[in-house]
Amino acid sequence: MSAARRRMAGAGGAALLLALGLAAAAVVGAVGARYNVRLDVTSAGEQRLAPRTLAVLEQAAALGEVEILVAADAASLEPWARRAVRDVLELFEHSGRVRAGEIDVGSAEGQAAYGELLGRLIEREREGIDLHIAAVAAAAAQTEAAGAGLEQRVAPGLLALRDLLGEGEQSAAVRSGLEQWASLMRAASARLSEAARAARAALAEPDAALPIPPLERHEAALRQAVNERATELDALVEELEALGGSGVGSEGLRSGAESLGRAAAEIRDELARAADGIARLPRLDVLRIATALGASEIALVIGPPGTGVAGIDIGTLYEPDVVASDGTRITGDVRFQAEELLASAVSTVLTAAKPIVVLTHGESASILDSTEYFAGVGQRMARRGIDLAEWQALHEPEPPELRELDPDGARPRVYAVLAPDSSGAARSPDEAPGPERAAAVGRALQRLIDDRAAVLLSVIPSVLPSYGETDPVAAPLAALGVDVRTGVMLLRREASARAQELRTEFEVVPGGGGHAILGATSNLPTLLSYPVPIEWSGGSVASVTPLLTVEASADAWGETQWVRLWQTPREQRPLLPERPGPDEGVDDTEGPWTVGAAVERAGGIARTGRIVVVGSSGWFFDPVAARYQATDGRVALAWPGNAELFEAAVLWLAGQDELIAQSAGARSTPLVGPIEPGRLRALRWGLVAGLPLLTLGVGVAWRVVRG
């Protein structure tokens, strides 16, 4: 072949190769645009959404279109934080289940888009806005009529009763009281009229943030004024009934007092109806986030028609503030926090019947307002639309009605029952000793179990079994075949630089399993303090699934003589002359020990019948469940399993199994789970024998091929 022919052949081959390459690139580009796949090879899963997020988005896709919009001034944000949030928005958009985007309110185009967003939100809730306006107008009319009744009927009637009194010291006291009541009723009439006028005026004036009346603020003011006057009328009705039944004055005076009492009661009932009409109004999402909208910076999740709208504070989204393990406040992981916040907001707008967690305890004072224990927990639950309430079982034999949180009674309730310290003495004359508080909690728990309520029970060791008595908190579970051994405390020995130290804390790493809660807590470190073992017997009454297990170890045991250790301050325990140790025949030395279990009673979740028992207390309080730490520059929960277990247990008890999955926050630090014994043996043999055999096999094959 000549040189010219060879050059022509080479050029033709190169051209063909180039054409084939371009064609392949075009095909790959077309297929990739249509069937785009994103592969995540990061250690913490930064380029994929968490299982819980995906479960929420599946629910969103089934109900209709959900839109996520972040409206913020791009120039005011840290570039790295904005980039992290944008990555999350792209992941949401890429899922194909929701729409997600940004609005830069610092630009002219962004301001126009923001104005269009406000218009859409108002038009979306136009029917509800009109309903609120009509209800406020009706309540204002009722309030004004009630005020007129006080001025024209009740106040003059009180003075007329005064004039029927005769002389005498007792009559003088009654006369003074009637005059004071008449003056109070005239003042009440003026306040009601003023509240009605203010409400009517509000209906004609637009809000500073939105072009609609500031309904929510004036509804609250009107309702407060009405409730205060209704309370005053309650007291007046009691006074008039007492006067009618007394021997003071003439028969005409007493009958007049009874008649005026009935008139006052009618006005009181009219005010109660006005207040109830306002209280039962559905919440307007556009009003709830009006302040944030007025500031022009907010992240919004807009659900399908008929659902809600949720708002997220921009500062929380771009600069999450968390508490580190040493108590200092640090900036959390923006990427995972953004996913957590947005997924929770999507879940909130889609499900109206969010659970209410009722903290049930035997303390003498309220514990719900304690920022030391429930600030972080309450914030996490609030993001998911879950409210916290309280039942002080020591003072309230009946569970709270919670009309403010659930006026229609449609939301599932989960009772988080906290066992008290039965060894504690009364610290003041107003407090009850430990056994009395334990008995109160036991009665409350028994009632809940009898009612087949959803219960999350947290128990701690009890001194009562040591005295041959039954622990009233553990006793109600016996009928279900569940034995919570509160007379035993798990302890472990840990070698240190000085000596072996006793530890009352156990870090448990749940394995996977078929139960929904295990799917959310798998491979997540969970810290339990002073754990107690849980046992159960087989039967048809209830099925039990272990959730947390302390593995058997030569350095762990169930101690029965633990009271002295319990009552000794932690820093003084190394000084105990006789420290507890495993005693064969007395202590429980045979592990493993179940310290957390899910109990499902026969009949499924009808009136739930579900119970979760954790053999520890305080495990979902802020010092443990909301404690963060910085590892290799990444901020993450110190014990992510605690928060995930609490949330998954609440959802399971509420019957919302489809929402149970690991959240983004649980994946903020890469975790390596324990290898199963069978897989570990296979891995060892593969490394020891597999590699040499593979090398030998390759050599033999090479010799055969080469002859």
Within 8 A by CB and 6+ apart from 248, the residues are 165, 170, 171, 174, 254
β-strand 298-302 against 67-72: which pairing, if any?
A: antiparallel
Close Cβ partners of 466 (under 8 Å, ≥ 6 residues apart): 487, 560, 563
Quick one: pLDDT at residue 666? Answer: 65
Sign of CA dihedral 326, 330, 332, 333: negative
- Give me the residues of the chain with pLDDT under 70, please: 1-21, 23-47, 168-169, 205-217, 247-249, 282-296, 306, 320-332, 352, 371, 496-500, 538-540, 603-608, 630-634, 665-691, 702-703, 706-707
Give just the sign of the alpha carbon dihedral 175, 181, 184, 186.
negative
Q: Is 146 exposed, middle or buried (0-12, 13-18, 19+ CB in 10 A)?
A: buried
Determine the Cα–Cα distance for residues 103 and 90; give it in Å rounded to an integer.
Answer: 14
Contact 468, 430 (CB under 8 A): no
Element (H, E) at 150: none
pLDDT at 612: 96
Per-residue pLDDT, 538: 67
The whole-angstrom separation of Cα 78 and Cα 85 is 11
Query: What is residue 544's three-state secondary structure?
Result: strand
Rounded to the nearest 5 degrees, what angle is found at the Cα of 71, between the Cα atoms of 66 and 75? 150
| Residue carrying structure tokens 């021997």 | 247
What's the pLDDT at 608?
60
The C-alpha angle 27, 32, 33, rounded to 5 degrees, equals: 105
> What ranges in 307-333 are assigned the alpha helix state H?
314-318
In a 3-state reduction of DSSP, which class is residue 57?
helix
Contact 438, 464 (CB under 8 A): yes
Q: How far apart are CA 110 and CA 296, in angstroms?
A: 10
Q: What pLDDT, on a 0 to 100 scale, did the predictor assign at position 519?
A: 86
Return d(Cα 337, Cα 376) in angstroms, integer: 14
Task: Name the nearest CA neighbour of 103 among 78, 76, 77, 69.
Answer: 69
The count of C-alpha atoms lying within 13 angstroms of the C-alpha of 558, restricted to the half-sphere facing its C-beta, is: 25
Q: Mapping DSSP to helix (H, G, I), strand (E, B) and coil, where does residue 362 land? A: coil
Return the bridge partners of 358, or none: 389, 415
Supply the DSSP string of 497-550, one letter for each residue: SSSEEEE-EEEE-----SSHHHHHHTT--EEEES---EEE--SSSEEEEEEEEE
The answer to whether 177 touches 158, Cβ cutoff 8 Å, is: no
Calculate the average pLDDT of the chain. Answer: 80
**Residues 6 or more apart in contact with residue 565 via CB below 8 angstroms:** 489, 491, 502, 504, 559, 573, 576, 579, 580
Indicate the SS3 state at residue 359: strand
Q: Which residue has the tokens 């009928």?
A: 479
- Cβ neighbours of residue 335 under 8 Å, at least 6 residues apart? 46, 84, 85, 87, 88
Tokens of 520: 């959310």
Considering only CA atoms, which of 66, 98, 72, 67 is closest in space to residue 85? 72
Q: What is the pLDDT of residue 9?
A: 63
Among left, alpha and beta (phi > 0; psi -120 to 50; other), residue 409 is: left
Check residue 418 and give its pLDDT: 95
Gap between the Cα atoms of 394 and 431, Å rounded: 10
Q: In what order do the strands lie in the sheet with 309-312?
A: 99-104, 67-72, 298-302, 309-312
pLDDT in tens, 52-73: 888 888 888 877 788 888 888 8
Number of H helices, E strands in the chain: 21, 22
For helices 215-244 and 169-203, give the axis angle rounded to 10 degrees: 160
Residues 612 and 547 sit within 8 Å (Cβ to Cβ)? yes
- Are 352 and 285 in contact by the 8 Å Cβ rule? The answer is no
Number of residues written out for the chain: 707
Residue 138 CB neighbours (<10 A):
14
Closest to 466 in 3D by CA, of 568, 561, 580: 561
Alpha-carbon distance 137 to 115, whole Å?
Answer: 29
Q: Side-chain half-sphere of 303: how many Cα atoms within 13 Å? A: 26
Q: In which region does residue 333 sit, left (phi positive, over 0), alpha (psi from -120 to 50) or beta (all else)?
A: beta
At position 214, the amino acid (one-letter code) is P
d(CA 103, CA 70): 6
For residue 545, give every residue at least 6 positions away whose Cβ sits within 8 Å of its Cβ, in sequence order, or none.
513, 515, 517, 518, 597, 598, 600
Closest CA to 150 of 232, 60, 62: 232
Fill in the amino acid letter for 106: G
